[in-house]
Chains A and B, each alone.
Chain A
Amino acid sequence: MPETSGSPLPEPIPITLKINGSSHSIEVRPWSTLLDVLRDHIHLTDTKIGCDHGQCGACTILLNGQRINSCLSLAVMHNGDEITTIGGIADCENLHPLQQAFIKHDALQCGYCTPGQICSAIGLVSEGHAKSREDIRELMSGNLCRCGAYTNIVDAIEEVMRSESSTT
C-alpha cells in the first residue's frame, strides 16, 4: 500500500487491456505498473518481478508486439493496448518455437528469468536487427540470468532466428 499524505487518494481510473487475447476491463490507481496489474489485479503471475527498476529484464512483456519492462510502465498510460506475456505465446498445446528451443538447448537453470528472456527473444527475432551471435548477446543485454545460462540462451535464440530467416 502506498503511503497516504493526508489528502484523499485519487479515484481509480477505468482502463481496458487486451492480455493474451482476452479483454480485461479493470480500475487502476495511477501508480499501478503494468507488472502490478498483471500479477496483483489479474492474477497472471507468469510475468516475474525481479529488480523492479528496469535493470534485470525479468518482467519483460510484449506491448503491442514490442518488448518492454513492465515494471517501468504505468498501466493507466496503456488503456486499449495489447499485451502478450509468456503465458500467451504458445499455440494451444504447441509450445512457441522459442519455448521449444529453450528446452532443447537447456537454456535455463532456476527458470526465474526465463519468461522475460523468452518474451525478450521474441521481440529480438521480430525486430530483425540481430544477424550474428554477437548481435544476439548485445540485443539480449537487458535480460540478466544469475544462473549464467547465457551461452545456451544464445544457442536457443540463434536456432530460432536462423530458422525464421530461412522461412521468410
Chain B
Amino acid sequence: MRPFKYNRPLDLATASNAGTSGSFIAGGTNLLDLMKCDVEQPSQLVDLNHLGLGSISETADGGLELGALATNTTTAYHPIVQERYPILSRAILAGASPQLRNKATNGGNLLQRTRCPYFFDTDSPCNKRVPGSGCPAKEGYSKLHAILGASDSCIATHPSDMCVALRALDATIRVSGPHGERRIEFADFHRLPGDQPEIETSLEKGEVITAILLPADGFADNFAYFKVRERASYAFALVSVAAVARLEGNQLKEGRVALGGVAAKPWRDLEAESLLCDQPCNAETFGNFADALLQSAKTYPGNRFKVPMARAAIVRALSEATHLNQL
C-alpha cells in the first residue's frame, strides 16, 4: 500500500468535511484490497467507525432502519431482519465469507467496486479506473460482466448480493453531507455507466451514508433469493435473483424481481413487472415476464450463457417465492 494519512473524526460534520479530500473507510474489506492492488490511492483515510452509526432499530412508519456501520453479520442475523425481511438475510449470507461479513458494513456493501479483472489489473486499460483508456472486457474475459444497461465504455457489474435484495424491497438510503441530510431511493443510488463509468453512485463529495431504511413490508411469506455461481459458496454471482410477491390465492397481485450479476446496478424492469400483476402463478407467467425483462439483453463473447441462465433463474426464484410447486 502507498502511504496515507489517517483521520478518526468523532462527528458527522467533521467526517463529511474530511471526506471531501480523502476516502472514507468503514470495514475496509474492499477498499484495502483495492489499495493493495494500487487501484485506489487515497492520500487520507477517514475512519467512520466512531460516528455511532451501528444500530438497527424500528422506525415510526413500521419499517426498519439499518445503521450504515452495522456489520453485514449483525444485520443478517438480526432477529427482526430474519423474521420480517428474510430475503435480506438470505442475500447477505449468500455473499462473501463469515470473516468478511464480520467486518464489512452495510454502507460499505453499497459502495463495493466491481470485480471486473481489468479494473483490478493496473497494467490493463479500464475506462472506470482510467477514463478514456478503453475496455478490454468486451472482447476478452466477460463471464462476470453485464448483459443489461452496459455501455460502450464499460460492461462491469456491481458485485453485491445485499443490494439486489434491497432493490426488491424498495429500500431508501439516508445520507449526510456538507449540504445537510437527504434521502436517495435505492433505484437512484447506483448509476449505469454511460460514458462516465468512473461515477458509480449519486453520492456527492463528502456525503456519508448514515442508514438504509426498509419499508414496512418485507414480503416474509413470499420471497426467494437464488444465486448462481461457479462454486457452492464464497463466489460472486454469475446471475442472482431476488424475487418477492403478493398473492391472493393462486393469483399474483404483485411481483418484483431484482437481478444481480447482470448490470452495473441491481436490475429491475418495472414495465416488465406489470406482466406479473393479476396473473395466475404458473411457469408461463414467469417465463413471459423473464422474456420481457431480458428482451434488451446484449451479450459479449464470454457471457452469452447469461441470458438463458437468467431466464431459468428468474422462473425458479418466482416459483419459489410463490410456492408454485406446493400449490
Question: Which residue numbers of A lie inside 8 Å of B, CB to CB?
Answer: 2-5, 9-10, 13, 29-31, 33, 52-54, 57, 60, 63, 66-69, 72-74, 76-77, 120, 123-124, 127, 129, 137-139, 141-143
Contacts and interface: CB of A to CB of B under 8 A. Distances in A.
A30 B97 contact: no
Given A67-B99, A69-B29, A72-B100, 4 more contacts: A57-B99, A77-B25, A127-B98, A139-B98
Contacts of B73: 66
A54 B4 contact: no
Contacts of A123: 98-99, 102
Contacts of A137: 232-233
Interface in B45-72: 45, 47, 49
Contact of A72 (B3, B4, B29): B29
Nearest to A79: B8
A18 B321 CA distance: 48
B98 A67 contact: yes
B98 A5 contact: no
Nearest to B76: A129
Interface in B12-69: 25, 28-29, 32-33, 35-37, 45, 47, 49
A142 B45 contact: no
Contact of B99 (A9, A13, A120, A138): A120
B6 A13 contact: yes
B10 interface: no
Contacts of A124: 98
B6 A72 contact: no
A73 B5 CA distance: 16
A72 B103 CA distance: 9
Contacts of B179: none
A18 to B, nearest CB: 18
Contacts of A77: 25, 28, 47, 49
A72 B233 contact: no
A55 to B, nearest CB: 8
A68 B234 CA distance: 15
B267 to A, nearest CB: 26
Nearest to B41: A5
B3 A10 contact: yes
A9 B100 CA distance: 30
Nearest to B103: A68
B6 A76 contact: yes
B36 A141 contact: no
Contacts of B233: 137-138, 141
B49 A142 contact: no
Contacts of A72: 28-29, 32-33, 100, 103
A41 B265 CA distance: 42
B3 A33 contact: no
A141 B234 contact: yes
A80 to B, nearest CB: 12
A10 B233 CA distance: 40
9 contacts: A2-B2, A29-B3, A30-B6, A31-B1, A60-B99, A74-B25, A123-B99, A139-B98, A143-B97
B36 A52 contact: yes
